Amino acid sequence: MALRLGDTVPNFTQASTHGEINFYDWAGDSWVVLFSHPADYTPVCTTELGTVAKLKPEFDKRNVKAVALSVDDVDSHNGWAVDIEETQSAKLNYPILADPDHKVSDLYDMIHPNANAKVTVRTVFVIDPNKKLRLTLTYPPSTGRNFDEILRVIDSLQLTDDYSVATPADWKDGDDCVIVPTLQDPDVLKEKFPKGYEVVKPYLRMTPQPNK
Protein backbone atom coordinates (compact mmCIF):
# COMPACT_ATOMS: atom_id res chain seq x y z
CA MET A 1 0.00 0.00 0.00
CA ALA A 2 1.30 3.45 -0.89
CA LEU A 3 2.27 5.78 1.93
CA ARG A 4 0.03 8.82 2.21
CA LEU A 5 0.70 12.21 3.75
CA GLY A 6 0.21 12.04 7.50
CA ASP A 7 0.99 8.32 7.70
CA THR A 8 3.60 7.10 10.16
CA VAL A 9 6.46 5.85 8.00
CA PRO A 10 7.65 2.29 8.62
CA ASN A 11 10.85 1.61 10.50
CA PHE A 12 13.61 -0.53 9.02
CA THR A 13 17.15 -1.66 9.72
CA GLN A 14 19.46 -1.65 6.72
CA ALA A 15 23.15 -1.55 5.84
CA SER A 16 24.57 1.80 4.77
CA THR A 17 27.82 3.58 4.07
CA HIS A 18 27.73 4.69 7.74
CA GLY A 19 27.16 1.18 9.06
CA GLU A 20 23.89 -0.53 9.91
CA ILE A 21 21.07 1.96 10.46
CA ASN A 22 17.89 1.51 12.43
CA PHE A 23 15.91 4.29 10.81
CA TYR A 24 13.90 5.45 13.84
CA ASP A 25 16.97 5.47 16.10
CA TRP A 26 19.10 7.22 13.50
CA ALA A 27 16.46 9.88 12.80
CA GLY A 28 15.93 10.65 16.49
CA ASP A 29 14.08 13.95 16.90
CA SER A 30 15.22 15.36 13.56
CA TRP A 31 13.38 15.93 10.32
CA VAL A 32 14.55 13.59 7.56
CA VAL A 33 14.93 13.88 3.81
CA LEU A 34 15.06 10.34 2.38
CA PHE A 35 15.75 10.33 -1.33
CA SER A 36 16.11 7.26 -3.51
CA HIS A 37 18.10 6.33 -6.58
CA PRO A 38 17.78 3.56 -9.16
CA ALA A 39 21.36 2.38 -9.09
CA ASP A 40 24.92 3.54 -8.48
CA TYR A 41 27.02 5.26 -11.14
CA THR A 42 24.06 7.01 -12.74
CA PRO A 43 24.75 10.53 -14.06
CA VAL A 44 21.80 12.58 -12.79
CA CYS A 45 21.95 10.98 -9.35
CA THR A 46 25.67 11.70 -9.12
CA THR A 47 24.92 15.42 -9.37
CA GLU A 48 22.11 15.12 -6.82
CA LEU A 49 24.22 13.39 -4.20
CA GLY A 50 26.90 16.05 -4.56
CA THR A 51 24.32 18.82 -4.26
CA VAL A 52 22.90 17.40 -1.02
CA ALA A 53 26.41 17.14 0.45
CA LYS A 54 26.98 20.84 -0.29
CA LEU A 55 23.63 21.72 1.30
CA LYS A 56 24.43 20.09 4.65
CA PRO A 57 24.74 23.48 6.45
CA GLU A 58 21.24 24.39 5.22
CA PHE A 59 19.84 21.05 6.39
CA ASP A 60 21.59 21.43 9.75
CA LYS A 61 20.01 24.87 10.28
CA ARG A 62 16.59 23.25 9.89
CA ASN A 63 17.31 20.19 12.09
CA VAL A 64 17.17 17.94 9.01
CA LYS A 65 19.14 14.76 8.37
CA ALA A 66 19.64 13.56 4.80
CA VAL A 67 19.83 9.91 3.81
CA ALA A 68 20.00 8.48 0.31
CA LEU A 69 19.07 5.01 -0.90
CA SER A 70 20.22 3.00 -3.88
CA VAL A 71 19.50 -0.59 -4.80
CA ASP A 72 23.20 -1.50 -4.99
CA ASP A 73 25.38 -2.70 -2.10
CA VAL A 74 27.67 -0.79 0.27
CA ASP A 75 30.88 -1.63 -1.61
CA SER A 76 29.37 -0.21 -4.77
CA HIS A 77 28.20 2.89 -2.87
CA ASN A 78 31.70 3.48 -1.50
CA GLY A 79 33.17 3.31 -4.99
CA TRP A 80 30.53 5.71 -6.28
CA ALA A 81 31.32 8.12 -3.43
CA VAL A 82 34.84 8.51 -4.83
CA ASP A 83 33.43 9.53 -8.20
CA ILE A 84 30.98 11.93 -6.57
CA GLU A 85 33.74 13.68 -4.67
CA GLU A 86 35.88 13.89 -7.81
CA THR A 87 33.19 15.16 -10.18
CA GLN A 88 31.05 17.28 -7.83
CA SER A 89 33.76 18.64 -5.52
CA ALA A 90 31.77 17.43 -2.53
CA LYS A 91 32.57 14.70 -0.03
CA LEU A 92 29.55 12.66 1.03
CA ASN A 93 28.64 13.62 4.59
CA TYR A 94 25.46 11.56 5.02
CA PRO A 95 24.67 7.84 4.62
CA ILE A 96 23.58 5.97 1.51
CA LEU A 97 21.38 2.99 2.34
CA ALA A 98 22.09 -0.26 0.53
CA ASP A 99 18.87 -1.84 -0.74
CA PRO A 100 19.80 -4.74 -3.05
CA ASP A 101 16.90 -6.79 -1.65
CA HIS A 102 14.47 -3.88 -2.30
CA LYS A 103 13.27 -4.17 1.30
CA VAL A 104 13.11 -0.41 1.88
CA SER A 105 12.04 0.35 -1.71
CA ASP A 106 9.07 -1.96 -1.26
CA LEU A 107 8.25 -0.68 2.24
CA TYR A 108 8.09 2.88 0.93
CA ASP A 109 6.48 1.96 -2.41
CA MET A 110 9.34 3.45 -4.43
CA ILE A 111 9.15 0.96 -7.28
CA HIS A 112 6.38 1.50 -9.81
CA PRO A 113 5.31 -1.85 -11.28
CA ASN A 114 4.04 -0.35 -14.54
CA ALA A 115 7.39 1.19 -15.37
CA ASN A 116 11.01 0.08 -15.40
CA ALA A 117 11.70 -1.09 -11.86
CA LYS A 118 15.12 0.55 -11.77
CA VAL A 119 14.63 3.96 -13.32
CA THR A 120 11.56 4.74 -11.21
CA VAL A 121 13.26 4.45 -7.82
CA ARG A 122 13.66 8.25 -7.58
CA THR A 123 11.36 9.50 -4.86
CA VAL A 124 11.87 12.12 -2.13
CA PHE A 125 10.27 11.74 1.29
CA VAL A 126 10.20 14.49 3.91
CA ILE A 127 9.52 13.00 7.34
CA ASP A 128 8.97 14.98 10.53
CA PRO A 129 10.33 14.21 14.03
CA ASN A 130 7.14 12.26 14.84
CA LYS A 131 7.95 9.96 11.88
CA LYS A 132 4.98 11.32 9.93
CA LEU A 133 5.23 11.62 6.17
CA ARG A 134 4.88 15.27 5.20
CA LEU A 135 5.93 15.36 1.52
CA THR A 136 6.55 12.99 -1.38
CA LEU A 137 7.94 13.92 -4.78
CA THR A 138 8.61 11.38 -7.51
CA TYR A 139 10.79 12.46 -10.42
CA PRO A 140 11.30 10.94 -13.86
CA PRO A 141 14.79 9.60 -14.54
CA SER A 142 15.62 12.44 -16.94
CA THR A 143 15.04 15.30 -14.47
CA GLY A 144 17.33 16.15 -11.58
CA ARG A 145 15.65 17.02 -8.33
CA ASN A 146 15.32 20.63 -7.16
CA PHE A 147 16.67 20.63 -3.62
CA ASP A 148 16.04 24.36 -3.20
CA GLU A 149 12.35 23.49 -3.55
CA ILE A 150 12.69 20.74 -0.96
CA LEU A 151 14.28 23.22 1.48
CA ARG A 152 11.48 25.69 0.70
CA VAL A 153 8.84 23.09 1.57
CA ILE A 154 10.62 22.24 4.82
CA ASP A 155 10.67 25.95 5.72
CA SER A 156 6.92 26.08 5.04
CA LEU A 157 6.16 22.93 7.02
CA GLN A 158 8.16 24.05 10.04
CA LEU A 159 6.59 27.52 9.95
CA THR A 160 3.02 26.33 9.53
CA ASP A 161 3.39 23.70 12.25
CA ASP A 162 4.12 26.46 14.76
CA TYR A 163 1.84 29.27 13.57
CA SER A 164 -1.75 29.47 12.29
CA VAL A 165 -0.71 30.24 8.73
CA ALA A 166 -0.28 28.60 5.35
CA THR A 167 2.12 29.67 2.61
CA PRO A 168 0.92 30.91 -0.81
CA ALA A 169 2.19 30.02 -4.26
CA ASP A 170 5.92 30.62 -4.79
CA TRP A 171 6.34 31.60 -1.12
CA LYS A 172 9.89 31.92 0.18
CA ASP A 173 11.10 32.35 3.73
CA GLY A 174 10.37 35.95 4.73
CA ASP A 175 7.37 36.46 2.43
CA ASP A 176 3.83 37.19 3.58
CA CYS A 177 1.67 34.25 4.65
CA VAL A 178 -2.00 33.30 4.51
CA ILE A 179 -4.01 33.16 7.73
CA VAL A 180 -5.78 29.80 8.02
CA PRO A 181 -9.56 30.04 7.43
CA THR A 182 -10.44 28.40 10.75
CA LEU A 183 -9.34 31.52 12.63
CA GLN A 184 -12.22 34.00 12.65
CA ASP A 185 -12.39 35.54 16.14
CA PRO A 186 -11.11 39.16 15.85
CA ASP A 187 -9.56 39.07 19.34
CA VAL A 188 -7.67 35.86 18.54
CA LEU A 189 -6.51 37.31 15.23
CA LYS A 190 -5.24 40.45 16.96
CA GLU A 191 -3.36 38.37 19.52
CA LYS A 192 -1.83 35.95 17.01
CA PHE A 193 -0.96 38.54 14.37
CA PRO A 194 0.22 41.71 16.13
CA LYS A 195 1.79 42.95 12.87
CA GLY A 196 -1.71 43.13 11.42
CA TYR A 197 -3.15 41.56 8.29
CA GLU A 198 -4.80 42.49 5.00
CA VAL A 199 -8.23 41.15 4.09
CA VAL A 200 -8.04 40.53 0.34
CA LYS A 201 -11.21 38.44 0.47
CA PRO A 202 -12.97 37.09 3.56
CA TYR A 203 -11.27 33.75 2.90
CA LEU A 204 -7.90 35.26 1.83
CA ARG A 205 -6.11 37.22 4.53
CA MET A 206 -2.41 38.03 4.25
CA THR A 207 -0.06 38.70 7.14
CA PRO A 208 3.69 39.22 7.49
CA GLN A 209 5.55 36.02 8.35
CA PRO A 210 4.94 35.62 12.11
CA ASN A 211 8.45 34.52 13.10
CA LYS A 212 10.33 37.27 11.26
- pTM of the predicted model over 0.75: yes
**Domain range holding 66?**
13-147
Same domain, 45 and 111: yes
Residue 38 neighbours by CB under 8 Å, 6+ apart: 45, 70, 71, 118, 119, 120, 121, 122, 141
Same domain, 89 and 119: yes
Name the active-site residue from 21, 32, 45, 179: 45
pLDDT tens column, 87-142? 999 999 999 999 999 899 889 988 766 656 555 567 899 999 999 999 999 888 78
Same domain, 172 and 136: no
> Residue 39: what pLDDT?
86
Q: Identify whether 5 is part of a domain.
A: no
Confidence band, pLDDT 50/70/90 cuts, at residue 1: low
Q: Identify whether 69 is part of a domain.
A: yes
Q: What DSSP letter does each residue of 69-92 carry, written as one string?
A: EESS-HHHHHHHHHHHHHHHS---
Q: For the chain, give the percent of residues with pLDDT over 90.
A: 83
177 classed as catalytic: no
Tally the domains of the chain.
Answer: 2
